[in-house]
A and B are shown apart, each in its own frame.
Chain A
C-alpha cells in the first residue's frame, strides 16, 4: 500500500509540489507578518516552524484517501482481504515519507531565509520532528479515512484533527524552542515522554479501530 502510494505520488508529484509551494508561501507570509525584527522572529520561530509543518500536514493528510475516493476505488479498499490495519500502516507510511520530505525542505528554507543556526541541536531536532510527525500522521490517517466519505470533508477534517493535535503541537514547539536555545536533550525529557505517549496512544487507537472505519 505504501509503495503504491509512493509510486503514484512520484509519478504525479501533485501533492508534493502543492505542499512545497504552500510551505514557501507560508514562509513569505510569516516574514511579511512579522517584519524585520530579528528578536521577535527568533522567539516565535519554533511556533512558526511547527505551524508550517502542521498546516502542510493537514493539507497533505486530507488528501490521503483522495485517490481512492476520486477513482471509485473505495469499495476495493473495503473488500480488501486480510487485516485492514495493514492498509492503515501502509497509508501512514506513505504519509510519513511525504511529510518527511516536505519538512526537510521547509526546515532548510527556514535555515536559509531566517538565518537559523541548527548546529548541535540537529539530532535532537530530528528526533522531535520525527515523534511529532508520527503523531500527526497517526491521527491524521485515521481521521482522513473517516472524513473521506463525508460531504464537508475539507472543513471537517481540520476541525477534527487540530484540537486533538494540541498536545503534540505544544510538546514539539516547546521542545524545539529549548533545543534551538542550545539546551540539552535531557532538559526536554518530559516533552519527549509526552510525545512518545501520545504517539503510542494514537497508533494503538488507529490500529485497533481502522477496521471499524473501513467497514463502509
Chain B
C-alpha cells in the first residue's frame, strides 16, 4: 500500500513538473521565475494540511490514547515542518530576483516563519523527553496549542504588516489567475500531497517498528 502510494507520488511529481514547465505559460509580469510558485505554493498547502491532520491526531490521541494516533501526529507534524521549510527556502530564492532581497518581513513570510519555528519546537520537545508515553502526551498538548495558534499568528502578522501600510507586494498570480496556472498549481499540490502522504506512511511505519524494537 505504501509502495503504491510512493509510485503514485512519483508519477504525480512528474506530471507536476510537466505542468509547471511545459504546459503553464511564461508569466507576463514576472517572467519564468514565477515557475518557482509551482513548488513554493503547493508546499505550504501540503504543510498546513499536514498540521491539520496532526491536530486531529493529537486530539484523537488524548481522547483514546492509541499509540497509532500519536505516531500519526508525530509523522504529520514532522512532514509538515519539512514542507514548510521547502516553502520558506523556495520563497527566499524567488524573492531575490523579484524583490531584490532574500528575506523581508512581509506578512506571509513572517507568519510562515513563526509557524515553522513553532513546529521545530514541537520536534525538539519530542526529542527531549525520553519517556515514550509522557512524550506522546506532552507532544499532543503542544501540537494542539501550535495548530490552534496558526490562525492567530496569521491574523496578527497580517494586520501588523498591512494596516496603516499599503501592501507592498502583489501576491503571485493575484486576482486574475489564468485557469492553466491554477490547474498547474493544483496538479503540483496533488503531487506534493501524495508525496507527503507517502512520507507520513513510511514515517509512521518506522515509528511503529521503533516502538516494537524498544518494547
Q: Which residues of A contact B (CB under 8 A)?
A: 139, 142-143, 146, 149-152, 156, 159-160, 163-164, 166-167, 170-171, 174, 190-191, 194, 197-198, 201-202, 205, 209, 212-213, 215-216
Contact = CB atoms under 8 A, between A and B. Distances in A.
Contact of A159 (B121, B129, B137): B121
Given A152-B128, A164-B146, A212-B62, A194 B155 contact: yes
Contact of A163 (B114, B148, B163): B114
Which secondary structure dominates chain B's binding surface?
Answer: helix
Interface of B: 62, 114, 117-118, 121, 124-125, 128-129, 134, 137-138, 140-142, 144-146, 148-149, 152-153, 155-157, 159-160, 163
Nearest to B118: A163
Contact of A191 (B121, B141, B159): B159
Nearest to B152: A167
Contacts of B141: 142, 146, 205, 209, 212-213
Nearest to A158: B121
Contact of B128 (A156, A202, A215): A156
Contacts of B118: 163-164
Contacts of A139: 145
Which secondary structure dominates chain A's binding surface?
Answer: helix
A176 to B, nearest CB: 13
A167 B137 contact: no
Contacts of A197: 152
A205 B156 contact: no
A205 B125 contact: no
A145 to B, nearest CB: 9
Contacts of A215: 134, 137
A167 B156 contact: yes
B145 A142 contact: yes
A150 B156 contact: no
